[in-house]
Amino acid sequence: MDMTHYMSLLASNQPWNLIIFMAIPVICAETLTITEFFIIFNRIENGGIKTLNKIVGIFDGFYFTGIFIYLLFNAVIPLTNTGGWHTWVDVVAVGFYLSGVVFLLPIALMELNIIFKNKTPESKMKIHFILVGGFLVVAHVAMIFGMVNPEIIGSMPTMHNM
Q: What is the dihedral angle through the alpha carbons of 126, 127, 128, 132, rounded to the nearest 10 degrees? A: 100
Q: What is the per-residue pLDDT for 130?
A: 96
d(CA 18, CA 20): 6
Share of the chain above pLDDT 70, in %: 94
Q: What is the per-residue pLDDT for 152?
A: 86
CB 145 within 8 A of CB 76: no
Q: Which position has the higher pLDDT, 156 or 74?
A: 74
Q: pTM, whole model, 2 decimals?
A: 0.89
- How long a stretch of residues is the chain? 162
Whether residue 162 has pLDDT greater than 50? no
Cis? peptide before 15, omega within 30° of 0: yes
**For residues 86-92, average pLDDT:** 92
- The whole-chain average pLDDT of the chain stands at 92
**For residues 38-65, average pLDDT:** 95
